[in-house]
Amino acid sequence: MTNTNSQDKPIVVGFDVSPDKPLAVQVSMREKEKEGLSKRRINIIIFFGLLIVSGVIIYMKYVPWKNPPKVQNILTDLSLTYIAPKYLSEGDQNVIDISITNLNLNESFSGTITLIFHDPTIPFMSIPDKNLSLVIKDLRPDDRVTGQFKFTLPTGSSIDKAVYYFQVYKPDGTPYTSPNGTLYKSNEEEFLIAPIPYLRSFLAWLIGGGGLGILISLRDQLKKLLGFE
């Protein structure tokens, strides 16, 4: 015998009326349970789908985190090539790789290349034992020297971008200028600031194997939530 609800039959009542056994009544909520489980599965799938899409968007925007090399002549006979981060991550070490080539075929070059931020109030910090200048002594004609600028942006800086450029100084510390008094420097470029502190370290950990452990854990939890275990 079956007793049904007036709407969507969530309750099933069964009677066992065998003559040699006591009356047994069994009530189940099978259809209701299935419906609830189905809705829960849909919600979980939507949640993890949105999580995956968000992860892909972040990955595509912030990895890889290096811009292509840029080449500029900061003096008539001095070429600068540099590879800068696509963005700065608060709390992480940020690195700019630079290369200076002396294009003058007759004279050596001596001077200093300095990384300068347009806004001097931005609290950039150079890595210990490093600074934001590359001192060059007697760079021979058609020769090249390389270096790195390493610095951090403290957390809580509350900025969304940072404009920077490279400037050339003479050995005595005065800037190189053109005959009309214009400073010799590179074009101004812009760093974007990552929305999450330590994002570069987190992505490096995620790509380096940490993400695999998370996926395995999520897979096991997802199987339990969806009722496959």
Rounded Cα gap, residues 65 and 83, in angstroms: 11
- In this structure, the chain runs to a length of 229
pLDDT averaged per 10 residues in sequence order, the chain, 229 residues:
48 54 54 58 68 64 75 93 90 92 95 90 71 92 94 84 93 92 91 85 69 59 59
160: exposed, middle or buried (Cβ count in 10 Å: 0-12, 13-18, 19+): exposed
H or E element, residue 202: helix 199-205
- The residues, any chain, with a CB within 8 Å of residue 87's CB and separated by 6 or more, are 62, 65, 191, 192, 193, 194
Tell me, what's the pLDDT at 34? 54
CA 139 distance to own-chain centroid: 37
Task: List, in order of start, the domains of the chain with CATH numbers.
Answer: 70-195 (2.60.40.10)
pLDDT at position 123 is 77
Q: What is the pLDDT of residue 1?
A: 47
